[in-house]
Amino acid sequence: MTNAMPNMGSPPQEKRPKGDSMQNTMLNGAPNTLVEKIILSHLAAGAGGAPARGEPVSIVIDQTLTQDATGTMACLQFEAMGAERVRTELSVSYIDHNTLQEDYKNQDDHRYLQSVAAKYGMWFSRAGNGICHQVHLERFGAPGKTLLGSDSHTPTGGALGMLAIGSGGLDVACAMGGGPFSLLFPKIYGVRLSGALAGAASAKDVILELLRRETVKGGVDAVYEYFGPGVASLAVPQRATIANMGAELGATSSVFPSDGLTKAFLENRGRGELWRELKADEGALYDKIIDIDLSALTPLAACPHSPDNVKAVSALAGTPVDQVVIGSCTNSSLDDLAAVAAIVRGKTVHPRVSAGIACGSRATLLAADKAGVLGELIRSGFRILESACGPCIGMGFAPKSGGAVSLRTFNRNFKGRSGTADAGVYLVSPETAAAAAIAGAITDAGELQTERLNTLPFVQSTVQCADDMLLPPLPPEAAKDVAVERGPNIKPCPLQEPAPDDVRLVILYKGGDNITTDDIMPAGAKVLPLRSNIPEIAKFVFSSLCPDFYQRAKAAGGGAIVGGSNYGQGSSREHAALAPMYLGVKAVVAKSFARIHRANLVNCGILPFTFVDGGDCDALILGDELHFQALHTLLDDPSQSVIDASVNGRTIALKLEADARDRALLRAGGAIRALRERNA
C-alpha cells in the first residue's frame, strides 16, 4: 500500500485566534497562565463565557495521535461513527507498541491501521520509525496547538508549549471526527525553576523530585506549568523528559513555555516556521507554586514499585544490578544517548549486567550513528533494541527471576510490568543507568569520567525528520478506493446496555489504593496482541491480582468492583474499562479515581461512584450485593449527586460526580451507543 501526496485533512469548523492573538487572551481581565491562553483560544463553538477552573469545558483539538495498542480500538470506534474523513488539522497513527510478531495478530493490526489511515486521511508511522511521543515531538509538535492522544504519555508535547493530553481511544476517535474534547478546566500548578543542573543531575531527577513531593495522586485534574529562570537552562529533550513523566503525577498535562530553545529545536528539524513565543503573563495566578532549585538536585531513583517511591542514588549505592535498559519515550533523545556514550566510552558493561538501548526514534538512531555515539554504545556491550516501546510495556528484554534489580530510564515501575513478577525496577536517569551498567551496582555517575562527547554541534545539524518511514494521508479522491484490511483477530467493539433503573450487583473484586490499569488489564507480549479482540482480552482482567475474576464475572453475569483511592492510575488503556464492561461490570465504587480511567468508565457506560463516607469502603467485602434503585432519577437530575445502595440490610451513601454530558452517556449505555442514537 502506498500513500501519495500529503493532505492535512479537513480544517476544523471553529475559527480560533492565531499567532499573537493568544498572547492577548484574558480571563476576566486578569493575567493568564499559558495553559489558560491555550484553552481559551481553543474553546469549542457554543461554549459560552470564559469558564472557571474546576468547571466543565470543551475544547477543539488540533492534532491527535494513536498507537497500535490503543489505536485499533480507536479506529474501530471511529469507523462505527460513520465519518468519511478525519476533521482535525493533523492525525497520526503510530506503530510502536505491538511490534513483537510471534504470530499473525500484531501484523494484522498494523495492516488494518495502515489501511484505515489511508482511507480516512491520517498520517501513518510505520513499525521501526519510533515511539509516538518522540516522533511526534520531532516531526509534528507545534507551540500553542492542542494534542489529544490515546496514550497517557501524550503530554510529552508540552515540551514545545503544546497543551497535550492523554485520553481513552474513544475520546480520540470523537476528536478525529471533529468533536470537541470535554474535561474539567484544570487546576494549574506553577513549577518555578531556578538555577541550572550540575554534576550528574539530569532532567529525570527534576521530575523524580517533583514526584517525591507531589506523589502519584498529586496532579489529578491539574496541569503543571513550568516557568522561572531555570527553564532557559533546559533543552527541549530535557523538557520532554519532565513533561512525559508528569503523567505519573496523575496530571492532565505538563506545559513549558515556547522560547528561543524551542525555536532552535524546531529549526534543527526543518520546522522553524512553526515557532512562536508563548509564555504566561506577568502576574499570572497559579493554584499553588512549587519551587525547585535545579542546582541543588542530586541523582535520584524511583524504587520498586511506584514512581513516587523516590530515594537518593547515594542512599542506594552499592546495590547489585542485574539489568540496565536505556530508552523509551522518556529518555531516548540524542542528548540522552550522548550522555551515556560519554560515560561508557572505553569501558565494557559489567559481566553481571545485561544492558540494552531502545532508541526513541529512527531519526535519532541515524543521527547517533553519524555522530559516533551509537558505535560507542555498541563497543561497550549494549544491545541495540528496536526503536519501539519494547521493555517499557513488558514486550521483551524482561529481567531474570529471583528478585532481579533492573535500572530503567522509563516512566513506570509497577510490579510485574517488566514481564518478571518478582523483579525490582528502579527508574533512573540515563547517567545513573550508564554508571550502573559499568560498575555492576547502583553508582553515582559523578564518580565516573563524564566528559561529554564533542559531537552535538555536528549532530544537531544532521537531526532531520526521516520522513521516508512516514506515509502521508491520501487525497480524498484516492482514499475512496482503499479497502480496509481486517484480520481474524479484529472484532467489533462491544456495547454496554443502557443503564437499568433498578439493579443488583455482586462485588466481584475489592482492591486497595492505587490500583493501576496494568493491574486491571496487563500488558506484555501475551496480552497486547489481543487489544483488537475484547472477548479474548477480557479473560485477562485482574489476572495478576485475582486469577479467577473472569470465571467469577461470567458465573455472576456481571457485577461491581470496589477500589480505594486513585483507582485506575497509570496507562490510558481503555481496555481496562472495555473488558470489564464486556464481562457485565456496571459500576465501580472507589474512594477516588484517576482522571483518564474515570473518563473511560463513563465512555463505556460504567457508573463511577465514590464513597460519601470512606469508612463504608472498609465495610464492604467480596460477594456483597449492592442494590441500586431509582438510578434513572439520579442520572436524569444533574442537581442530584448522592444515591443510597442497600447492602446486607443496611444502607451506604454513594456519590456520582458527573455533569450533564456524563450522565447522558451513562444513561444511554456509553458514548458509542449515545452517538448511534443521536445519529439515528
Same domain as 309, residue 290: no
Domain end, chosen from 438, 465, 492, is at 465
Would you place residue 27 in the very low, low, confident or very high pLDDT band (cuts 50, 70, 90)?
A: low
Give the torsion through C-alpha atoms of 350, 353, 354, 358, to 10 deg.
Answer: -80
Q: Rounded to an integer, what is the distance from CA 41 to the centroid of its chain?
A: 24
Same domain as 652, residue 634: yes
Distance in angstroms (rounded) separating the CA atoms of residues 438 and 353:
8
Same domain as 283, residue 358: no
Q: Does the residue 475 lie in any domain?
A: no
Same domain as 73, residue 24: yes
Q: What would the pLDDT profile of 439-494 be if each residue is shown by its tens digit?
A: 999 998 877 655 444 444 434 444 565 678 999 999 999 999 999 999 999 988 88
Give percent above pLDDT 90 in the chain. Answer: 73
Q: What is the pLDDT of residue 331?
A: 94
Mean pLDDT of 393-422: 90
CATH of the domain at 37: 3.30.499.10
Mean pLDDT of 80-95: 92
Q: What is the pLDDT of residue 559?
A: 96
Q: What is the pLDDT of residue 456?
A: 43
Would you place residue 48 in the very low, low, confident or very high pLDDT band (cuts 50, 70, 90)?
A: low
Distance in angstroms (rounded) separating the CA atoms of residues 374 and 365:
8
Same domain as 323, residue 287: no
Same domain as 373, residue 236: no
**Torsional class of 469: left (φ above 0), alpha (ψ -120 to 50), beta (otherwise):** alpha
Q: What is the pLDDT of residue 380?
A: 97
Same domain as 643, residue 522: yes
Same domain as 431, residue 567: no
Same domain as 591, residue 638: yes
The alpha helices in 472-548, defined as continuous H runs, are: 476-479, 517-520, 534-537
Would you place residue 624 in the very low, low, confident or very high pLDDT band (cuts 50, 70, 90)?
A: very high
Distance in angstroms (rounded) separating the CA atoms of residues 110 and 66:
12
| Average pLDDT for the chain | 89
Between these two residues, 27 and 320, which has the higher pLDDT value?
320
Residue 61 contacts by C-beta under 8 Å, 6 or more apart in sequence?
Answer: 42, 88, 146, 147, 148, 175, 180, 181
Task: Give yes or no for a contact between 378 and 384, defined as CB atoms under 8 angstroms apart.
Answer: yes
Q: What is the DSSP string of 51-93?
A: PPTTSEEEE--SEEEEETTTHHHHHHHHHHTT-SS--SSEEEE
Domain end, chosen from 251, 275, 296, is at 296
Helix (H) or strand (E) holding 504: strand 503-510
Tell me the whole-structure pTM to 2 decimals.
0.88
Same domain as 370, residue 268: no
Q: Does the residue 497 lie in any domain?
A: no
Q: Does the residue 444 lie in any domain?
A: yes
Q: Does the residue 493 lie in any domain?
A: no
Same domain as 247, residue 339: no
Domain end, chosen from 296, 311, 339, is at 296
Q: Does the residue 2 lie in any domain?
A: no
Q: What is the pLDDT of residue 141?
A: 97
The alpha helices in 410-516, defined as continuous H runs, are: 430-439, 456-462, 476-479
Q: Does the residue 374 lie in any domain?
A: yes
Q: Does the residue 605 lie in any domain?
A: yes
Domain enclosing residue 99, as ranges: 19-296
Q: Does the residue 240 lie in any domain?
A: yes
Mean pLDDT of 289-318: 97
CATH of the domain at 648: 3.20.19.10
Report how many domains make up the chain: 3
Mean pLDDT of 606-626: 92
Mean pLDDT of 395-418: 91
> Rg of the Cα trace of the chain?
24
Q: What would the pLDDT profile of 115-163 be if each residue is shown by its tens digit?
A: 999 999 999 999 999 999 999 999 999 999 999 999 999 999 999 999 9
Q: What is the pLDDT of residue 414?
A: 87
Q: What is the pLDDT of residue 98?
A: 79
Would you place residue 525 in the very low, low, confident or very high pLDDT band (cuts 50, 70, 90)?
A: confident
Same domain as 365, residue 235: no
Mean pLDDT of 374-379: 95
Task: Give yes or no for a contact between 674 and 668, defined as CB atoms under 8 angstroms apart.
Answer: yes
Distance in angstroms (rounded) separating the CA atoms of residues 103 and 105:
6
Distance in angstroms (rounded) separating the CA atoms of residues 243 and 256:
8
Give percent above pLDDT 70 in the chain. Answer: 92
Distance in angstroms (rounded) separating the CA atoms of residues 351 and 344:
14
